[in-house]
Structure 1
Amino acid sequence: MINVLLAEDMHMIRAALGALLRLERDIAVVAEVTRGDEIVPAALRSRPDVAVLDIDLPGIDGITASVELRERLPGCRVLILTAMGQPGQLRRAMASGIEAFLVKDAPGDRLADAIRRTARGLRVLDPELVAAAVEYGASPLTPRETTVLREAARGAPAEEIARRLHLSAGTVRNYLTGAIAKTGARNKIDAVRIAEDAGWI
């Protein structure tokens, strides 16, 4: 029997996933949580073999929670679910050592199969996301352009970014201009979107 912890903040989706998994003879849902900061305490109580985590959770996100989970309960493997399916999320998940990554609109039988494969220690990655991640490739941004664009993504104006990074506002604008050019964006907002989708920031 594969014991599963389910973390999903949307009640209807969590109930549907739980009902779907309970139809499987070899899978038991031993814990359900709605917040990222509830994952580790619930896992320590229920000792799941696989934690199925939504990537976007209140408290802390699924990827951040998975890092702590692996430290506290090394035998528990993690399968990340996402509605968005952005290549950047896949890159971040893989960098964190997550074994499996699946989009929520995958067929129901794929989830059960992914849980079984994850429990056996196999890597399970959505093939379309892998192709998109390869297509985006490595970041063309310098470390400083990355930092400035990440600050811009939080909505900070150039003057505020300059104060935080101990730079002049003109230098910050130059880094933003470089980031816009390298991402092929139309403006700063578009550069942020492209870089986030690609997992560069």
Structure 2
Amino acid sequence: MIRVLLAEDQGMMRGAIAQLLGLERDIEVVAQVASGAEVLQAVRAARPQVAVLDIEMPGRTGIEVAEELRREGLMCRVLIVTTFSGPGYCRRALDAGALGFMAKDKPVEELADAIRRVHAGEQVVDPLMAAAALAAGPSPLTAREREVLAAAVDGAPVVSLARRLHLSDSTVRNYLSSATRKTGARNRMEAVNKARQNGWL
């Protein structure tokens, strides 16, 4: 049996997926969590072989969780299942150590097959998403630019951002200006939106 953990913040969807996967003869859902913050503890307790993670979850994103699992050396392979199709998400997920990346709107039979293949050590990526990620290339943002832009999502003034990030006002302005230019945006909120659509944040 392939031991699977499901991390999905929508309870009804999580329950439905678990029930459908439970019909597969070789798959057992051994843990279900509603937030990224719960995954590591659940992995240690239930010892799943494959973690099926949503990208956007409370606490930590699926991509952040994939990075943590790799960093902690936990023997659990990751399959990201998402509604976000921005090319940057696919690239970041694979860079974080995920073996699989697929859209949520696929039939459960495809999800089960992807779980089997990821469990076997294969890389499973939706062909359209993979092509888009290759065509788009890597994110143009540096880690610092991404951090500052992510902090700016709530529209906070530069002074507040600087305090929050422990940087000077001028440094924050420089990072925001650079990120805005690199994303081809007219202002920082447009830069935030473009970066999110492309999966760079």
Are residue 29 (structure 1) and residue 34 (structure 2) matched? no
Contact 1:39 1:69 in 2 (8 A): no
What TM-score, normalized by structure 1, do the two folds share? 0.83
**One-letter identity of the residue aligned with 1:157:** P
Provide the TM-score with structure 2 as the length reference. 0.83
Paired position in structure 2 for 1:18: 18
Tell me the equivalent position of 1:166: 168
Shift of 1:81: 1.4
Distance 1:33 1:161, change over 3 A: closer
| Deviation, structure 1 residue 145 | 5.1
Q: Distance in 2 between matches of 1:6 and 1:30?
A: 8
**CA shift digits 1:61-105 (9 cap, x unpaired):** 222223333444632111111122222222221221111111111
For 1:26 and 1:114, locate their aligned partners in 2 and report how far apart those are by CA, in whole Å. Answer: 13
Aligned pairs for 1:1-201 (under 5 A) are: 1-72=1-72, 74-141=74-141, 146=146, 148-161=148-161, 164-168=166-170, 172=173, 176-201=176-201
Alpha carbons of structure 1 residues 80 and 140: separation in structure 2 relative to 1, 3 Å: closer
Count of residues in correspondence between the two structures: 199
The one-letter code matched in structure 2 to 1:166 is: S
DSSP-derived class of the 2:78 partner: strand
User: Quick one: distance in 2 between partners of 1:179 and 1:64?
Assistant: 21
Q: What one-letter code is carried by the residue in structure 2 that aligns with 1:10?
A: Q
Unaligned 5+ segments in structure 1 are: none
Q: Helix, strand or coil for the counterpart of 2:42?
A: helix
Task: Give the distance between the partners of 1:114 and 1:158, measured in 2 at CA.
Answer: 44
Shift of 1:165: 2.7
Relative to 1, partners in 2 of residues 1:131 and 1:33: Cα closer, same or farther, differing over 3 Å? Answer: same
* Percent identity for Structure 1 against Structure 2: 51
Answer whether contact 2:78 2:97 (CA < 8 A) is retained. Answer: no
Deviation string for 1:121-142 (max 9, x for gaps)? Answer: 0111122222222232234456
CA distance in 1, matches of 2:61, 2:67: 10
Q: Which has the larger radius of gyration?
A: 1
* Contact 1:44 1:73 (8 Å CA) reproduced: no
SS in 2 for 1:138: coil
